[in-house]
Structure 1
Amino acid sequence: MTTILAVGPHPDDVEGGMGGSILKLVSLGYDVHILDLTNGEPTPHGSQEIRQKEWEQASFMLGIKSRTVLDLPNRYLLDNIEARKKVAVVIRKIKPQILFLPYWIDAHPDHVQTTQISEAARFYAKLTKSDIPGEPCYPSHIYYYLCSHFRLHVTPAFILDISKEFEKKLQIARVYQSQFAYDDARWKYISSSITAKNQYYGNLIRVDYGEPFMSHEQVGLKDIRDII
């Protein structure tokens, strides 16, 4: 079965961008893992202890195989050799065939840096005669999920139907109370934003809810019957 690694800058980004898709992929039998490059702290309403409880609960609800949270600095994440090697170690350990990364255009520097670090780490992970622990591994595909701080209209390479998974996706998002639900007004804004976005992309493929994914390369199909 295909192994998948979804990489995010902070705990909650993967869930917000592709939480419904992870639920679907897990239900279909895929081995799904999450890697967060930082613990997401400091934030106005959070702490390291609070955030850890949140990501542990979210991971349980998603049903993923594992979650790794690196010690890179929140807010000041930078693409450098050290960061690339840390991500490459995880890639070699998990050995995914598919990587999911944040969409490459974003107002948040940590999101942009996460994608740059992870793209380079994918290359580093395949190198022989290197000091990176583990056996060489090269994920064959990268897809990009939308968790941008810009109000973007993107043209997806594909959209995954998450109509059956959407309500649970919202439940998981609300687990991150320190970020998304520290008061009623905040949760109303977050939940309505997630709903509107996923309804829009779902409408494009004639379903209730969808999550968009982008790619630098063309996406091929083995069987045209998979098209909605």
Structure 2
Amino acid sequence: MSADSTEPLDVIAVGAHPDDVEVGLGGTIAKMCRQGYRVGIVDLTDGEPTPRCPSPEVRLAEAQAAAEILGVQFRMVLDLPNRKLFDTYEARIKLASVLRRYRPRLVIGIFGKTPMASPDHWQASQITDAAVFYARLSKWDSEFDGHPVHTVERQLWYALSLNTPAKLEDGAFVSDISDTLEIKMEALRAYKTQFPVTKERIFRMVQAHAHFYGSPAGFLAGELLIAPSLIGVRDVVETVCGPREVKKQDPIMPDGELPQST
């Protein structure tokens, strides 16, 4: 899981701090990796200081452990300041340079504000939106360490807030994480300094959100994603109802006879 490779990625997910992507998108990221997609995580800050973490190195080690559990190809932590993260030109350039270098097809960032939680999340959302735009601007390569223009095909946002009532936004859909919810929870537990035993309620909240989003969509668990632009559907019935079940038929016997049961 090295950030030194220049092989293109399919997906880059962006968080303000290590653990943001795990909370909002961990199940989907784990599923993408198991489907064979090349996925990277970019944390804009190291998330420190925090009350229970002795040093940034400890938090980064936790982030690397969580990334290995999810199965991502690489994780990168930018040197932007925690608690003082703002949507600045410099921040946009730093993230856009990463997008130009790794050339993802899809970028997923934080959706909107998270009241009662860090304001860094809203700043990260704006930085991500701007970086996607900056990545495709021509005649500007000198600003991005010489990395050439790259057009991101699609952008999505993931819901992060656990403290406010969940609501469906325009463009919202649910990602099925029924098979990867436990992987998501294991990745979260890798952050021992952020989620100690005294904060066990965080895990209950994450699981509750997963069941809340998943159940109406017919899944055991789900994560809410929001598309800022229209997404086309080629097969409406299969998209809405799922693949058709193939029923096993009895073989046809001569003269219409049915096979004898054994």
Asked if TM exceeds 0.5, the reply is yes
Aligned partner of 2:43 in structure 1 is 36
User: Does 1:169 pair with 2:177?
Assistant: no
> CA deviation digits over 1:196-224, x for unaligned, max 9?
10000011112210011012222222333
Aligned mates of 2:70, 2:38 — CA distance in 1: 12
2:234 corresponds in structure 1 to: 222
**What's 1:211 paired with?**
223
Query: Paired residues, what number?
Result: 225
| Equivalent in the alignment of 1:18 | 25
Q: CA–CA distance in 1 between the matches of 2:230 and 2:216?
A: 19
Match of 1:124 among 113, 120, 134: 134
- 1:111 maps to 121
Higher mean C-alpha deviation, range 94-103 or range 212-221: 212-221
* CA pair 82-2 structure 1, distance change in 2 beyond 3 A: closer
Where structure 1 has 5 or more consecutive residues not aligned to the other structure, the ranges are none
Q: Which has the larger radius of gyration?
A: 2
Residues 78-104 of structure 1 show CA distances to partners (whole Å, capped at 9, x for unaligned) of 111100000010000110111100111
SS at match of 1:178: coil
- What is the root-mean-square deviation in Å for CA atoms of aligned residues? 1.5
1:92-122: CA deviation from partner (whole Å, max 9, x where unpaired): 0110111100111322210000010111111
TM-score by length of 2: 0.82
1:117-160 deviations in Å (ceiling 9; x for gaps)? 11111111111111222010121211111112541322152101
| Counterpart amino acid of residue 130 in structure 2 | A
Deviations 1:22-52 (A, max 9, x none): 1111111111110000000010011212101
Q: Percent identity between the aligned chains?
A: 38
Q: Tell me the equivalent position of 1:4.
A: 11
Q: Give the equivalent residue in structure 1 for 2:253.
A: none
**TM-score (normalizing by structure 1):** 0.94
Residue type of the partner of 2:177?
I
8 A Cα contact 2:9 2:40, kept in partner? no
Please name the residue that 1:192 is paired with.
Answer: 204
